[in-house]
Amino acid sequence: MKVDFTRWLPAIAKDSYRKAALSVAGVAALGGLALAPTAAAAPVTSGPHQGAVAAIDLATGKAATSAQQNDEQPVESGLTTGSATGKPPAGKPSRAQLIPHGIEGAQSRVPLDDAQLANARAIVDAAKKTGVGDRGAVIGVATSLQESKLYNLGHLGAYNDHDSQGLFQQRPSSGWGTPDQITDPEYAATAFFTALKNVGGWQDLPLTAAAQTVQVSAFPYAYAQWEEQAADIVQQLW
């Protein structure tokens, strides 16, 4: 199975965050293409490639495994659960700070491995540096969960959505940066948060509206399903 997946994906980021990048065979973004940070292009109407969807299922442990896949299960980091009640740990943001507008719709969760956790840390660090705070970090992590499942994806060959790459599936052709830049987690997250800060009143918007204004995705409501897990991740990493 690894051989088949490798022919799909030459997907290792070339940056200083090499340990945070993961060559996950067949992993691709589940909907949503990041367009230019200052100008919106026409929305893409096609859905995710079936081969990429199947690969994400494998990477997140959702697909039924076969004898060839038994040793390919993801490593869970523990950052997939959280409580909506009770006091936050000392020095951590509260649930009300992280999810000020409430959860929208059914929520999704995926197990996290070391690469995903390292990428989440990079997003949280960039949120602190850019001044968007813990709420901005939740929006960033949720956006990356939707776009790439927190994997720092390189070009996916035939399964790539246009020229989208990296944690946020940003597009060089739309002005987000070079392929090397957008596959640098720090650069990609900083670019996302810089664009978010240009959205008037983003702090008062529901998560999916804030994320969609930056990403201009063909799947504008998909970000909402990751808000709860993103809040759990940010609370524990903050």
Over the range 8-30, which residues count as b (16 or more CB within 10 Å of their CB) and which as e? bbebebebebeebbbbbbbbbbb
User: At residue 26, what is the residue type?
Assistant: G
Packing angle between helix 133-148 and helix 114-130, nearest 10 degrees? Answer: 140
- What pLDDT, on the 0 to 100 scale, is given for residue 220? 84
> How many other CB atoms are found less than 10 A from the CB of residue 146?
27
Q: For residue 122, what pLDDT is reported?
A: 98
Predicted pLDDT of residue 13:
38
Residue 47 makes CB contacts below 8 A (sequence gap 6+) with 31, 218
Domain ranges of the chain: 2-237
Report DSSP state, residue 169: T
Residues of the chain under the 50 pLDDT cut: 1-36, 38-52, 54-55, 58-61, 63-77, 80-85
pTM for the complete prediction? 0.70
Q: Which of 77, 72, 76 is nearest to 59 (CA)?
A: 72
Sole residue written with tokens 């740990």? 89
